[in-house]
């Protein structure tokens, strides 16, 4: 198989994005082309994803169809195993394979000798699996295995598009205006967008301006919404739509065209750099957390842009180009953010005033730290304290730290404010008086920007030095977005920090960007489980299972686990029963002022099943 052949197949798939190739057509094409370019005798694919009943099946030959059917009937086989585990499965010799006791003998009887299966998943959402069959035993080369997985990935992405297109088709068959609107967000759908594009082309012939189409695809949207409660996905899509609409110019058209894809049409641009600026604004706006009742999530977007003005503009062609550009970006930084620089942030009128007020806030004494105890799960003994930033704006009162951090990043003040937090937290630690004060560690949150900024490690080392603090008693809390942004750089900064001797905690584990693989890949000391899982304990069996899995893996790797947002006795009890090392939350103590903390530490005896609350400092 040559690179050209692979590239041909990829382009063929790309064409299915805007044409009406149905799901079955995409699958048929996939299996047909695979047997042409790969050293296999047959190929089959089954889409199992929930909601598809009966599942879609395609096969390149009658025998491949029989093998697919056999697995479906038996509920066993490599296809189901790949779907369930998300891992590719290689069975070079079915005769010596004992994982599929029901499937193997029957398949051997039917003439199968080897099978290689690749999961179809997009953004961590499992859809089914692709099976490559051979009638002679023997392995597939590493290159062939890689190619097959690439084809499975690309097919999965396009299948999602086809599914969304089917959904839109159903919606468009409803009479009236609703047919032109996306049912979840109320935004224009693909059909209305195509109409607007037609009109834009007509107008453009009469002017010297150009138009741009931006394809905005939410990275890992499916995986993120899978971790949160039912319906949150829809609420988040509405929030994304509103945020995008808020930063567009009057006259721009925003449409939702697939499950997690939005299209934006910007007309009347004097030159392409104006579209780049819009893309940068979108990218920055997406970097701010999204909050819907009970949940706050972070995700980034991949943005592809295509321009008119090349003579043969056709609406569908332009959308396809934008989609391909987006897909290229997604592939370049798989699982990571888009290629756009995060310099500009969304500028809503509301935030403008605040942004202007931020410079000098430290000097004017408007910033302060609140401190929240972290206690040992078993006996409630105080083990650490997390420093949380507070901003008392003279006229607006307290501003959420999430907003404050985003603004500080936008205004280029994050390094300065972050340094101030580190200094304050370590200075405060020197005032703790108790026989065990030396053992208490202080945790400081570090934003991804701050973590990646030049000289961050040196700053940490210098502050430890000037405050004569033991590095082992300081924990830096980072979120998974640090690793998603630039994993190589993150690794370097982490190892520099480990060299100094500070502890690293992975915060908000399970929300936004987080992956169990981070636990294996990076030298982490502590995992802080996101409070959404703790809130669901006792209500959602999956939360308990996920917490158990995180505890297992983290403990196996010698890490400590903290459960966040513990608000009830029952949550504390369940977490402790599961073996969670430490807890943090209102059940034990809310964030408090430094003086309340000092009093608390001074009065601490060894065992504190429950610490006193200081509601005045809950802040935020």
Element (H, E) at 582: strand 582-583
Binding of residue 567 to ligand C2E (CB under 6 A): yes
Rounded to the nearest 10 degrees, what angle do helices 414-429 and 456-466 cross at? 30
Q: Between 514 and 584, whose beta carbon lies closer to ligand C2E? A: 584
Binding of residue 367 to ligand C2E (CB under 6 A): no
Binding of residue 565 to ligand C2E (CB under 6 A): yes
Where in 298-394 does DSSP place strands (E)?
301-307, 367-376, 382-393
Q: Please tell me the distance from the alpha carbon of residue 226 to that of residue 164, in angstroms, as a whole number.
A: 18
260, 507, 530, 574: which one contacts Mg ion (CB under 5 A)?
Answer: 507
Contact 430, 467 (CB under 8 A): yes
Q: Please tell me the distance from the alpha carbon of residue 97 to that of residue 101, in angstroms, as a whole number.
A: 8
Distances (CA, A) of 320 to 16, 159, 298, 323, 327: 9, 15, 27, 5, 10
Size of the site for ligand C2E (CB under 6 A): 24
Tell me the closest approach of the beta carbon of residue 286 to Mg ion, in angstroms: 22
Binding partner of residue 421 among ligand C2E, Mg ion, none, CB cut-off 5 to 8 Å per kind = ligand C2E
Binding of residue 25 to ligand C2E (CB under 6 A): no
Piece of 374-382, 396-404, 487-495, 603-611 that binds ligand C2E (CB under 6 A): 396-404
Alpha helices in 17-127 (DSSP H): 23-37, 62-74, 78-85, 103-109
Site for ligand C2E in 581-600 (CB under 6 A): 584-586, 591
Binding of residue 388 to ligand C2E (CB under 6 A): yes
Distances (CA, A) of 538 to 106, 230, 296, 496, 612: 43, 16, 21, 40, 25
* Nearest partner of 281 among 326, 221, 343, 333, judged by Cα: 343
Radius of gyration of the chain measured on its C-alpha atoms: 27
Binding partner of residue 574 among Mg ion, ligand C2E, none, CB cut-off 5 to 8 Å per kind = none
DSSP letter for 188, please: B
301, 374, 446, 546: which one contacts ligand C2E (CB under 6 A)?
Answer: 446
Q: Please tell me the distance from the alpha carbon of residue 408 to that of residue 147, in angstroms, as a whole number.
A: 44
Size of the site for Mg ion (CB under 5 A): 3
Could you tell me how many residues make up the chain? Answer: 620
- Other residues' Cβ atoms within 10 Å of the Cβ of residue 504: 21
Distances (CA, A) of 62 to 39, 106, 119, 137, 283: 18, 15, 22, 20, 48
213, 389, 601, 604: which one contacts ligand C2E (CB under 6 A)?
Answer: 389
Site for ligand C2E in 495-554 (CB under 6 A): 507-508, 531
Distances (CA, A) of 74 to 47, 315, 347, 616: 16, 46, 57, 61
Tell me the closest approach of the beta carbon of residue 478 to Mg ion, in angstroms: 9
Binding of residue 405 to ligand C2E (CB under 6 A): yes
Q: Please tell me the distance from the alpha carbon of residue 287 to that of residue 295, in angstroms, as a whole number.
A: 16
Q: Between 161 and 543, whose beta carbon lies closer to ligand C2E? A: 543
Binding of residue 477 to Mg ion (CB under 5 A): yes
Please report, in angstroms and rounded to a whole number, the separation of the first and last CA atoms in the chain.
Answer: 58
447, 475, 532, 560: which one contacts ligand C2E (CB under 6 A)?
Answer: 447
Piece of 36-44, 153-161, 178-186, 441-449 that binds ligand C2E (CB under 6 A): 441-449
Binding partner of residue 620 among Mg ion, ligand C2E, none, CB cut-off 5 to 8 Å per kind = ligand C2E
Q: Between 97 and 530, whose beta carbon lies closer to ligand C2E? A: 530
Binding partner of residue 398 among ligand C2E, Mg ion, none, CB cut-off 5 to 8 Å per kind = none
Tell me the closest approach of the beta carbon of residue 476 to ligand C2E, in angstroms: 10
Tell me the closest approach of the beta carbon of residue 447 to Mg ion, in angstroms: 11
Q: Between 77 and 401, whose beta carbon lies closer to ligand C2E? A: 401
Cis ω for the linkage preceding 54 (within 30 of 0):
yes
Q: What tokens appear for 166 in the block?
A: 């089917």
Piece of 193-201, 442-450, 460-468, 511-519 that binds ligand C2E (CB under 6 A): 442-450
Contact 266, 279 (CB under 8 A): no
Q: Between 437 and 456, how does the x/- string for binding to Mg ion read (CB under 5 A)?
A: --------x-----------
Piece of 107-115, 211-219, 256-264, 564-572 that binds ligand C2E (CB under 6 A): 564-572
Tell me the closest approach of the beta carbon of residue 452 to ligand C2E, in angstroms: 12
372, 410, 441, 514: which one contacts ligand C2E (CB under 6 A)?
Answer: 372
Bridge partner residues of 560 (DSSP): 526
Piece of 177-185, 313-321, 335-343, 399-407 that binds ligand C2E (CB under 6 A): 399-407
Piece of 9-17, 35-43, 114-122, 443-451 that binds ligand C2E (CB under 6 A): 443-451
Q: What tokens appear for 135 in the block?
A: 């009638």
Q: Please tell me the distance from the alpha carbon of residue 174 to that of residue 151, in angstroms, as a whole number.
A: 35
Note the residues at the interface with ligand C2E (CB under 6 A): 372, 388-389, 400-402, 405, 421, 445-447, 477, 507-508, 531, 565-567, 584-586, 591, 619-620
């Amino acid at each position: 198989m040559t690179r050209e052949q692979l590239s041909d197949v990829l382009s063929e798939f790309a064409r299915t994005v805007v044409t009406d190739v149905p799901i079955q057509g995409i699958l048929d094409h996939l299996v047909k082309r695979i047997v042409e370019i790969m050293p296999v005798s047959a190929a089959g694919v089954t889409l199992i994803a929930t909601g598809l009943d009966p599942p879609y099946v395609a096969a390149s030959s009658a025998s491949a169809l029989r093998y697919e059917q056999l697995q479906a009937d038996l509920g066993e086989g490599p296809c189901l195993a790949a779907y369930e585990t998300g891992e590719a499965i290689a069975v070079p010799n079915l005769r010596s394979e004992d994982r599929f006791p029901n499937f193997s003998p029957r398949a051997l009887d039917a003439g199968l000798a080897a099978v290689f299966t690749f999961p179809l998943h997009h953004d961590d959402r499992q859809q089914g699996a692709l099976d490559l069959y051979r009638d002679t035993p023997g392995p597939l080369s590493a290159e062939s295995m890689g190619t097959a997985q690439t084809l499975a990935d690309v097919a999965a992405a396009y299948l999602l598009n086809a599914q969304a297109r089917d959904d839109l088709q159903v919606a468009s068959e409803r009479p009236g205006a609703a047919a032109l609107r996306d049912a979840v967000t109320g935004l224009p759908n693909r059909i209305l967008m195509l109409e607007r594009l037609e009109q834009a082309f007509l107008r453009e012939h009469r002017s010297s301006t150009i138009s741009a189409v931006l394809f905005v695809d939410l990275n890992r949207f499916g995986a993120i919404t899978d971790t949160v409660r039912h319906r949150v996905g829809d609420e988040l899509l509405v929030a994304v739509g509103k945020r995008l609409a808020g930063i567009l110019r009057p006259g721009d058209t925003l449409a939702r065209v697939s499950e997690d894809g939005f299209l934006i049409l910007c007309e009347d641009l004097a030159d392409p750099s104006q579209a780049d600026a819009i893309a940068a604004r979108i990218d920055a706006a997406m970097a701010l957390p999204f909050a819907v009742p009970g949940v706050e999530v972070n995700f980034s977007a991949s943005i592809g842009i295509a321009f008119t003005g090349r003579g043969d503009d056709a609406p569908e062609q332009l959308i396809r180009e934008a989609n391909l550009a987006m897909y290229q970006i997604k592939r370049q930084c798989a699982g990571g953010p888009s290629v756009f620089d995060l310099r500009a942030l969304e500028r809503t009128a509301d935030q403008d005033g605040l942004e202007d007020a931020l410079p000098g806030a430290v000097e004017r004494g408007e910033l302060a730290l609140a401190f929240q105890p972290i206690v040992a799960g078993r006996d409630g003994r105080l083990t650490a304290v997390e420093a949380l930033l507070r901003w008392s704006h003279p006229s607006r009162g307290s501003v959420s730290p999430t907003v404050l951090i985003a603004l500080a990043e936008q205004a280029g003040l994050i390094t300065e404010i972050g340094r101030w937090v580190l200094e304050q937290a370590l200075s405060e630690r020197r005032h703790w008086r108790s026989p065990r004060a030396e053992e208490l560690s202080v945790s400081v949150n570090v934003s991804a920007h701050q973590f990646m900024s030049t000289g961050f490690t040196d700053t940490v080392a210098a502050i430890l030095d000037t405050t004569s603090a033991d590095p082992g008693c300081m924990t830096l809390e980072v979120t998974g977005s640090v690793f998603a942004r630039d994993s190589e750089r993150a690794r370097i900064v982490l190892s520099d920090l480990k060299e100094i001797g500070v502890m690293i905690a992975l915060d908000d584990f399970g929300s936004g960007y987080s992956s169990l693989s981070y636990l294996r890949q990076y030298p982490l000391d502590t995992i802080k489980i996101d409070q959404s899982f703790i809130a669901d304990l006792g209500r959602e069996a999956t939360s308990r299972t996920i917490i158990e899995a995180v505890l297992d893996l983290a403990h196996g790797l010698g890490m400590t686990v903290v459960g966040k947002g513990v608000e009830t006795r029952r949550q504390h009890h369940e977490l402790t029963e599961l073996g969670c090392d430490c807890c943090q939350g209102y059940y034990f103590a809310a964030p408090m002022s430094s003086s309340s903390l000092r009093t608390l530490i001074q009065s601490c005896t060894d065992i504190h099943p429950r610490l006193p609350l200081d509601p005045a400092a809950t802040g935020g």
